[in-house]
């Protein structure tokens, strides 16, 4: 099995970001969606970015932003990848000259194959749980058999999110075999506050399956 990459999302402090990096996260996610409990201003996000060591990617998460809003963040924060969680078009996502990941929230009325194929220019597709009130960080899982089919049938890199935590991530990886896993609320003590022990347990579980 290929090594499963790990992204820890919704970080809001330098301390938590450094802890995630030290424990072995491949990437961290910074949220630029004002309605999120994990939202960051550019100044704090830039401080987190500057503190991180080399080889840890920084992903910026947006939900239906304007072009100006994304550009303003990019003016102050060096991001390695953009993550879009709303109804953004493929052309909009690709317009900033950076790799991007498109989140697709799994729901029964969505033609998932068609939606993934629309974003064939993405670096990865993130599959997340659907909640009509929240764009992400719901803490609930969806049917992993759906994600498993996407991994088998789609040429896109599939990132599994939604309801992952230290107790279930190993099983999720064994079933789905995703390119990466993405966790936020599953390693928190409170929204935006990561628990070092839960991050350690989560990463240890992923690495145990990778061995």
Q: Which of 9, 81, 93, 150 is catalytic?
A: 9
Q: How many residues does the chain have?
A: 211
User: Is 9 known to be catalytic?
Assistant: yes
Terminus-to-terminus CA distance in the chain, angstroms? 9
What is the residue whose two structure tokens read 């990778």? 210
Q: Which of 16, 128, 165, 182 is catalytic?
A: 128
User: Is 81 known to be catalytic?
Assistant: no
123 in Cβ contact with 100 (< 8 Å):
yes
| 135 Rama sector, left if φ>0, alpha if ψ -120 to 50, beta otherwise | alpha
Q: Please give the structure tokens belonging to residue 47.
A: 């401080």
Q: Exposed, middle or buried: residue 101 (CB in 10 Å: 0-12, 13-18, 19+)? A: buried
Of 145, 172, 144, 154, the C-alpha closest to 102 is: 154
Q: Please give the structure tokens belonging to residue 93.
A: 């996502």
Regarding beta strands 100-106 and 27-31, do their DSSP bridges make them parallel or antiparallel, or are they unpaired? unpaired
Q: CA-CA distances (angstroms) from residue 109 to 15, 49, 98?
A: 41, 38, 31
105 in Cβ contact with 129 (< 8 Å):
yes
- Enumerate the active-site residues: 9, 128
């Amino acid at each position: 099995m290929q090594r499963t990459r790990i992204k820890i999302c919704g970080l809001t402090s330098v301390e938590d970001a450094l802890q995630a990096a030290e424990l072995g996260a491949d990437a961290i996610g910074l949220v630029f969606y004002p309605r999120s409990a994990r939202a960051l201003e550019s100044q704090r996000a830039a401080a987190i970015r500057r503190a991180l060591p080399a080889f840890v990617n920084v992903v910026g998460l947006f939900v239906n932003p304007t072009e100006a809003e994304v550009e303003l963040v990019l003016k102050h924060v060096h991001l390695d990848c953009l993550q879009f969680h709303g109804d953004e078009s493929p052309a909009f996502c690709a317009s900033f000259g950076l790799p991007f990941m498109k989140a697709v929230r799994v729901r029964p009325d969505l033609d998932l194959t068609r939606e993934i194929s629309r974003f064939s220019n993405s670096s990865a597709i993130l599959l997340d749980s659907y909640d009509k009130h929240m764009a992400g960080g719901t803490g609930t899982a969806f049917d992993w058999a759906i994600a498993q089919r996407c991994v088998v049938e789609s040429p896109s890199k599939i990132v599994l999110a939604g309801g992952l935590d230290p107790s279930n991530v190993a099983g999720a990886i064994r079933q789905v075999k995703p390119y990466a896993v993405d966790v936020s609320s599953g390693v928190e003590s409170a929204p935006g506050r990561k628990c070092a022990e839960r991050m350690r347990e989560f990463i240890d579980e992923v690495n145990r399956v990778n061995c």
